[in-house]
Amino acid sequence: MMRMGLLFLATLSLSLSGCTRDDSKMAEKLDQVIKKQDEMIGLLQKGGGAGGRGAANPRAQRPRPVPTDVYAVPIDGAPYVGNKDAKVTIVEAFEFACPHCASVSASVAQLRKDYAKDVKVVYRQFLIHPQIATLPAQAACAAFKQGKYEQMYEQLFEKGYNANRDFSPANVDKIAGDVGLDMTRFKADLAGECPKIVQQDMALMQGFGVGGTPAFFINGRFQSGGGPPERFKPLIEEELKKADERIGKDGVTVANYYQKWVLEKGKKQL
């Protein structure tokens, strides 16, 4: 009963953190609570006390990205907005059903305005609410194949999420039509490659330690959760300064900066 009570309180606190689950501080606290409970239960079952023997093995911590490290997150073939050749590339793991993803989209849009020439945002799907978010994720993929990802992204939040998260097939079809997609091709892509592509996004992001949304890699450096634009600017400014120091040396250009300093030098996995 003691374990259930403490675990309930920890889980309740975690749920209040929104869509940033496994990569949040609350998730770490939950792991710590479970670890302590396992140790205490092990002692009690074996008749031990504070100084007894035979405590249960500690619960293994899930690996998480280290904010100071650089991770070689691939971007080829993924939808993006902003300057193709940017000094700072932001990879966002998100889903359309996540409240924090919906709110941070305005911050990301503002960052694009504030750093119009220097920032590119690359999108990767990471489904926290698959029963709701799967169809819009696949629909965005299908729109990308027709060169209308940005329009679809905006309308899925505006007419889907903001309409009480209405991602029913009928509403998603309507949004696709309003965006101007070829509906025959749209339906074919929904039933074809897009489910696989969404799953590939998930696997890729999990491989770099993402466990919740929104999650960002800013020139390969991890930052989780939402917030106003000011929350992201210190890291962007730091990465811009590094880029300015490196570009023009050893064959590094703006166009190949991400390749040279993130993909080639960054960690390929946790």
Q: SS3 for 162?
A: coil
User: Domain holding 194: CATH number?
Assistant: 3.40.30.10
Given the DSSP bridges, would you call strands 119-125 and 88-94 parallel, antiparallel or unpaired? parallel
Domain identity same for 125 and 254: yes
Q: Express each pLDDT in 146-174 by its tens digit.
A: 999 999 999 999 999 999 999 999 999 99
Residue 143: which of 154, 151, 132 has the closest Cα?
Answer: 151
Give the domain range for residue 9: 2-45
Residue 52 is predicted with a pLDDT of 40
Q: Express each pLDDT in 37-55 by its tens digit.
A: 445 434 444 444 443 444 4
Q: SS3 for 215?
A: strand
* Beta carbons of 84 and 46 less than 8 angstroms apart: no
Q: Express each pLDDT in 229-264 by its tens digit.
A: 999 999 999 999 999 999 999 999 999 999 999 999
176 lies in some domain? yes
Q: How far is it, in rounded angstroms, from Cα 10 to Cα 260?
A: 42
Strand partners, 94: 125
Domain count, the chain: 2
Q: Which two tokens stand for residue 124?
A: 């990767």
